[in-house]
Amino acid sequence: MGEVKKAAAILGRKGGQAKSEKKAQASRDNGKLGGRPPKKLQMGEIITQEGYEVLTAKERREILKCEQAKEYSGYRKYPDTCNHIFSFIPADMMERLPAKELGEIAKIINKAYQAGKNEKEAN
């Protein structure tokens, strides 16, 4: 039985290595479209088990949405900058807009800030 599994694994590995011009072209075409979309953050990546037990469902959803918006904006890896940018988004917008739109708004806020900063430095 062990030999059959070993043989199947070898054959599977060989099949997975198969390359064709059609596959290569499809991969290049997908790359031109931006490749794979970013992975959406999940609750377990943000909130610990202890936090999950303490927070209400509404609080957990708000935290998840905010973190997803930060991820969509591209500034999540810069916590201070990210928090500062998101502080300009009114609370009612944070509640009613989806995470993707909040991330786009954060990008626009930062773009406006950078443009003003560059203009000031040029003068």
pLDDT digits (tens, 9 = 90+) for 32-56: 887 777 677 888 888 888 888 999 9
On the question of pLDDT at 1 being above 60, the answer is: no
Q: What is the DSSP letter of 38?
A: P
Number of other CB atoms surrounding residue 78 within 10 Å: 13
Q: Which of 25-29, 46-50, 52-56, 75-79 has the lowest average pLDDT?
A: 25-29
Let me know: does 102 contact 90? Beta carbons within 8 Å. no
Q: What is the DSSP letter of 67?
A: H
**52: Cβ contacts below 8 Å, ≥ 6 apart:** 43, 60
User: What pLDDT, in 10s, does the model give residues 95-119?
Assistant: 999 999 999 999 999 999 899 889 8
Confidence of residue 120 (pLDDT cuts 50, 70, 90): confident
**pTM of the full structure:** 0.64
Let me know: does 70 contact 83? Beta carbons within 8 Å. no
